Structures are given as structure tokens and as C-alpha cells.
Amino acid sequence: MPDLSINLAGLKLANPTMTCSGTCGYAFEYADFMDLSQLGAFVTKSITREERRGNEPTRIVETRAGMLNAIGLANVGLKRFLDEKVPQLRKMPCPVIVNVAGHSFDEYTETVAAMNGLDCAAGVELNVSCPNVKDGLTFGTHPGRLKELVAEVKKVLPSKPLIVKLSPNVEDITVTAKAAIEGGADVLSLVNTFTAMAIDIHKKRPRLANVTGGLSGPAIKPIALHLVSRVYRTVAKHTGTPLIGMGGVQTWQDAAEFVLAGATGVSIGTALFVDPATPNKVVTGLSDYLQKQGIERLTDLVGALQMPGDEPRKTPYP
């Protein structure tokens, strides 16, 4: 059988599939619908220092080939997370990555510091790019502030990989990617949702109470793929920074495209609302694909996309 294992800056996973934060709760919410033990890693809902109710409804609407959400980081807050959710996470049959969000340096560092000593947290994903809270893009769209934030957070997370989740809502994502790496990011995940809106033509009002939300799903996959490829070729490849690709992954073929573009790991989000077992099917499909291609290791495919003008890639395969 082909080897699907990956290594994210020291975090070793059995396969590249992960859940996108905010799409499957805190732990076992989807346990009846997918085999959690077959996940490469489970990524929790965003945790903030203080409990948040999130935005007023309507918070989710379906769009053509996608979904708009404006949840607004609703979550139980750090104290309840530690008291109520961590005991469940300790029983998870796969590695757990905790997603952390915040509104200030102090809030980010205090929440991340609490994860450093947690035995059930294999790593932290830093959400600096939520488009659905008032100041959610403050860090993620400003390279200087992002670099400074990542540097401060990394100080309190010395023993675990720090993943920084990048916003696509910037002029040049390679600039923020470079800033995050210079600040100390071990891994980058991209992309978060795109700021967008939908209108109820009968009421002549926005369909979301928040007016705008984050667009996800198949509609954004070609754009996400392009941004992963750009970041890989411009920044990540020569710095040796692993990427986690996300944005509209529904099938193993989608996952294979992200890997070829330069992603080491692949996260699945909106597709879980259609078929929660999607990550398990992606693993099976990738394994069959590699076997048919005669490729022994998935990692041999990372960034193997041949672009016009590229030197022929040295490979052990025909």
C-alpha cells in the first residue's frame, strides 16, 4: 500500500486529511457519520479567551456551488473549553489541532499558552483571518502586525507546531505568508473564506444579518488552488514550510490537485455538510490513485506540478 503519511514540522500524521476549523464542532459531534480514527488530524472549532455568542441569525445561507457563513466565532471560551471539551479531546482516536482566535496580542498569547501544556493538543492553528468578526482581519491583512503577533505567540508555544491560517482577502497573499514565516510560523494553512454577500431580492435586504460572510465550497476551489500554488512557489518551497491546502475540497481528485500545487496536508470543510465521510473517501481515493500511478509515497507528489518553463522534476517514478 502507498505511504500516505506526512510530517508537518514535526507533527507526524498517518494521512494528509484534516477537518477545517468550525465545520465539525469540538470533538465527537460527527463520530456517528465518519471514522475519526481515519483522519490525519481533527481541527477544533476556534477557541477565544472569552466565551462568544457570535453574530445574530441568519448566519448561514447556501449559494450556488458554495456556502456563506457569518457565525462570528461563536464558542465556549477558554475556561469552558478546558473544563468541558478537553476531557473529550483526550479520547479522540486521531491527533488534535486546536484552532485559536483573538482580538489582541494578550488574548492570543494567553489562549495559545494554555495549549502548550495540553497533552491532547498536537499543535495550534492560529486564526488571524476570520472575515466575520468586527476586527477579524486586523492581523491577517497587515504583514507587520501579523509578523509581530506570530512572534509573540510562538514564544508561548515552544514545543508544538504553530500553524498560521492565511486570509485570501489581501492584495498579495505571498506577502502575508512571508511575514508569518518570518514571525515563526512552522506551517501555513490556506485559504480561509472569501468575504462575500447574497441578497434577498424580494425583501431587498442582505440574506445574512451580518450583511457579509465568508464564502466557501466548490465555488472557491480554483482560486484557493491558485493561491496555494503561488505561496508554495514564491515562499514555502525555498523556506521548507509545509502548507495545508483548503478551499472547496470535495473529492480525492480535489485533494490530489492541492498536493500537486504544493500542499502537504489537505483540509475539508464545507463538503462535510453534504457528506461527513468525505475525508475517509478522500484517503481511499488517494491511496488507489497512488497505487495506480506506481507512486510509493504521497509526499513525492507535493509540489510536483509541472508549469511551463519548469526544469523536469527528478523523480524515481517513470
Catalytic residue numbers, as ranges:
130
C-alpha cell, 154: 510562538
d(CA 103, CA 219): 29
d(CA 109, CA 33): 35
Residue 115 · residue 100 · CB < 8 Å: yes
Task: Kindly state the DSSP code that residue 222 receives in the 8-state scheme.
Answer: H
C-alpha cell, 193: 473564506
Strand pairing report for 11-13 and 60-63 = unpaired
d(CA 226, CA 233): 11
Residues with Cβ within 8 Å of residue 78, at least 6 apart in sequence: 47, 48, 49, 50, 110, 111, 114
Q: Alpha carbon of 188 to those of 109, 216, 238: distances in Å? A: 18, 18, 14
Residue 164 · residue 184 · CB < 8 Å: no
Q: Grid coordinates 497512488 are at which residue?
A: 290
Output helix, strand, coil percentages for the chain, rounded to the nearest 5.
35, 20, 45
Residue 48 phi, psi (nearest 5): -115, 165
Helices (H), 74-161: 77-80, 86-89, 105-116, 143-155
